[in-house]
Amino acid sequence: MSGGALITLKEDATEAGASSNGSGGNSNMAHNQQASGSGNVSGASSHNVNGGNGGPPEGTRQNSLQRIQLRKQKVFNLPVPQKLAKLSMYSACQSEGCRCTGWKTPQENRHRDVESSSYCPEFTEECRSCRHALQNHIAHLDGISGSQMNDLLGAIIDMENLFMSMQRVEDEDTKKVYLYLFRLLRQCVLTRQQAVIRGPLGDPPFETPCIAKAVSSFVFYKYNHLSQSELQTMTEVAKTFLNFLNHYNFEPPSMRRSGLTHEDASTYKINYTRWLVFCHVPAFCNSLRHFETSLVFGRTLLRTIFKYMAEQLRNKCTSERDRFPADKRSIITLMPKFLDALKSELLKDDSPIWDQGFRLSPAFIIQQRKRLQESNAGPATGSKRTSTGEPAHKRAKKETIDRAIGDGHFEDLTDETVVRAMKAISESKAINKSEILFPVNVSRDENVKAEEQQRAIEFHVVGNSLTKQVDKQTIFWLIGLQAVFAYQLPEMPREYISQLVFDTKHKTLALIKENQPIGGICFRPFSSQGFTEIVFCAVTMSEQVKGYGTHLMNHLKDYSIKHGIRHLLTYADCDAIGYFKKQGFSKDIKLARPVYAGFIKEYDGATLMHCELHPSIVNTQFISVIRKQSEILKELIAQRHNEVQKVRPGLTCFKEGLRSIPVESIPGLREIGWKPQMRAQRTSRPLEESSDPEKLAASFTAILQSLRQHQAAWPFLRPVPAAEVPDYYDHIKYPMDLKTMGERLKQGYYVTRRLFMADMARIFSNCRFYNSPETEYYRCANSLERYFQTKMRELGLWDK
C-alpha cells in the first residue's frame, strides 16, 4: 500500500463503504459498530467540520476513549470461538482459487452481532459471498497466541471506528485521511503485520527545534532573571500552553483557505494531514503509533495556528477561571502576558529560541528536572494519558528536558587548553620541515582552497535575464558552461541543455579558471517551497579528480543557506549516485512529496536524491574545521598520554599489615582523570512510619491517582458487582479495590506504608486467585503490580 495514496485518494465515503464491504470486511460493519455501542474517532473529531473551536470538552474526549477501551476489553474477553468468528470477517478465504477477503454472515443472521453473547457462528456456517465454511477463513490462524489475537481484534475495532468516522465527517480532506488509515489497518489485518505509515508525509519530527523545546528555551530566555518562585510559575504557564496545544484540534484546510496565501495553504494542508495521521487519530486508535503535537512540529505550524489557538486559550482561561484552585489562578492571570511575549518571538526571524544551537544553562535544566520530579510526586491531573500510563503533558516536558540535556551540556574544553594544543601543533609542523616542503597527505580540498585564495580559480553565480541587460562576460560564461555540460553529459540533448542554462528561472554556479568555465552546477531555486533543484553538474575531463566537484557543491550549499533554502534535490543517473552520496545526498527523501511534486523535473531511469542543509555549518570550511578538531584531539590525547605514562612503585602497605586502603590513595589515579563517585548518603527512610503523616498521605494519594489512570487499572477501579459475578464473593472473603482504598485514605486509615502495601497486594492476589493465568484480568494484575512497585521505589517507599 503506497503512502502516496494519502494525497491522491478521490473516493468519497460511499466508495469507502463499498470498499470495506466488498474487499474484505463484513457488510454489516456499520450495523456491528452501532450494535456494540462503541466509541469512535469521529466523536472527538467531528468538531473539525463545525468550526474547529479547540475541540470538544475534555470529558467528551475521555468518554470516547473509555467507550472504545470498554468495547475492546469486551471483545478481548469473548470466548475464543467468538474471537475467531470476528477475525474471520476480515480474513481472506484460504480455499484454493477463492478471492473472498472476509467471511460474511449468512442472510438469516445478517443483523445479528457476533460480539454479543447471543450469537456465535458455527465453524461450518457458509460465507454468504463465497459459500465456503467459516473455518476456511481462519485456517491460517492455527497456533496464534492470545496476545496476537487481541492485537488483531484491536486493529479491527480501530478500523471499524474509522469507517464510522468516514460516514460522519463532512470535510473531504479529513475523509481522505480516514480512508487511507482505514485501508492501511485493513491491509495490516489481512497480512497480520504491524501498521507502519510510509510515504510523502515523512517521519516525525517534521521540524527542529520542536515546539516543546522552543517553549522551554523561551522560558529561560525571557524569564531567567525572575526569582525561583516566579520562574516556576512561568514554567507552569508554559506547561499549560503545551498541554493545550497537545489537545488542540486543528481546523481542516477547507476552513483556512480564505486567510492564507496559496503557499501557506499548501503547507498547512500537509501539516494538518500529518497531525491527523500521527497525533490525532492514534490517540483513539492505538494500533497506530501516537506522537505529541508539541514534540513533532515546529515553528511553521505554530505560526499558522497561533492566532486562533491563543484566542481560544484566552477564552478558556476566562471562562474556567473559577474552576481553578486559588493557588493556580496565577497561571490564568499570566497566560495573556505569556502568549503576547511568545507571539513576539514567534514572528521574529532572528529569535534565538528557534535556533537549533540555543543552549539552556545547566542550572536551569537542573531546576526543570527538580520541578518535574516534584510534579511527578504530586497528585496527577486528569489529562490524557499515553500508552505507558504517563500523562501526555508530563511526558512532553520530560522529553523536552531530556533532549535539551542530550544536546550537549557537558563541560567544554577551556580556551587556554585549545590554544596550547594549537600552539603545540604549529611548533610540531615547524620542526618537521619535510612535512611542509613535501606534503604527501595534503587533501584535495586544501589545494582547491589555496587556488581560490590565490585567485587562480573563481566561483560566480550567473544567469540570464529578461528584465535587465546581461553583460558580455556573463553571456560568454553561459556559452562556455553550455559546452561543458553538453560534452560531459552526452545523453542530454543539446537543445534541452541550452534551454535550461539560458532560462531566466535557472542559475548556474560557474567554476572559472583563466577566465574560462571549467565546470559548474545549473540549478533552479524554489524559495517558496524551501528547496533547490540541481539540474546539471559537471567538470571538464582534464580538471577532474582535483577536488573541484566537492568545492563546487560546498559553494552551492553555502549559497542556498544564505538565501534561506535548507534542502537540495536532484535526479541522479547511475554514474552520478556515488558522487552525490559523497556530497551528503541520500535516497531517503525527508521532504514530503507535495512540497516538490509538480515543481522538480523528473527523469526516467534516474534516482531522486536529497540533501538537508544545516544553517550553522559553513560547508566550504567544514572539512578544514573537522581536520583541525581532529588534530587538536590527537594532540590532547598525546599530552594526556605523556602525563600518565609514568611507572610508579607498587603498593607495599598490604605487606605491612593493612587490609584495605581508600581507592583515591592509589598513586597516579587522580592524574589520569579519576574522580571519586559522590554516593548519596543513606539516611533513614524519608516517608517511614515515623515521618510526617500528611506527607505520607500525599504520597499515597499521588500513587493511587497514578494507578487509576494506568491502562491496566480498569478491572480494579471499583468493587466487583455481585450481580455480574455471582460467585465472586464465595471465593474472595476479603475483597479490595482502588475505590475502597481511596475512601480508606481519606478516613486516615493508612498511618503506615505497610497497611497501604497490604491492601494493594490484596487487590492483585484476589485477582490472581479468582482468574486463570490466560485471562486479561490476570495480565492486568501483573502489569499494574509492576507499575505500583515502580512508583513506590521512585518515592523511596519500597524495601523489598
**3-class secondary structure for 715-746?**
HHCCCCCCCCCCCHHHHCCCCCCHHHHHHHHH
Contact 797, 753 (CB under 8 A): yes
DSSP labels, 72-117: HHHHHTS-HHHHHHHHHTTS---STT----S----GGGTTS-TTST
DSSP state of 125: P
Show the beta-strand stretches assigned E in 485-566: 507-513, 516-526, 531-539
* 111, HSE (Cβ side, Cα atoms, 13 Å): 0
Residue 147 to residue 780: CA distance in whole angstroms = 13
Q: Which of 345, 533, 776, 785 is catalytic?
A: 533
Please, what sign has the CA dihedral across residues 244, 245, 249, 255?
positive
Residue 577 to residue 581: CA distance in whole angstroms = 6
Q: At what angle do helices 693-708 and 753-770 cross, to 10 degrees?
A: 20
For the chain, give percent helix, strand, coil, nearest 5. 55, 5, 40
Establish whether 230 is a catalytic residue.
Answer: no
Could you give the residue ranges of the DSSP H alpha helices within 169-277? 172-191, 211-223, 228-246, 262-275
Cell numbers given for 147:
496476545
Residue 749 to residue 766: CA distance in whole angstroms = 21
Q: How would you classify residue 748: left for phi > 0, otherwise alpha for psi between -120 and 50, otherwise beta?
A: left
Residue 44 to residue 53: CA distance in whole angstroms = 12
Contact 27, 21 (CB under 8 A): yes
DSSP labels, 252-297: PGGGTGGGS-HHHHHHHHHHHHHHIIIIIGGGT-TTS----HHHH-
Residue 715 to residue 767: CA distance in whole angstroms = 9
Burial code (b: 16+ CB inside 10 Å, e: under 16) for 217-253 equals: bbbbbbbeeeeeeebbbbbbbbbbbbbbbbbbbbbbb
Among 331, 340, 330, which residue's Cα sits nearest to residue 310?
340
Residue 649 to residue 361: CA distance in whole angstroms = 44
Contact 682, 357 (CB under 8 A): no
Residue 761 to residue 754: CA distance in whole angstroms = 10
Lay out the sheet containing 567-572: strands in order across.
457-462, 507-513, 516-526, 531-539, 567-572, 607-612
User: Catalytic amino acids?
Assistant: 533
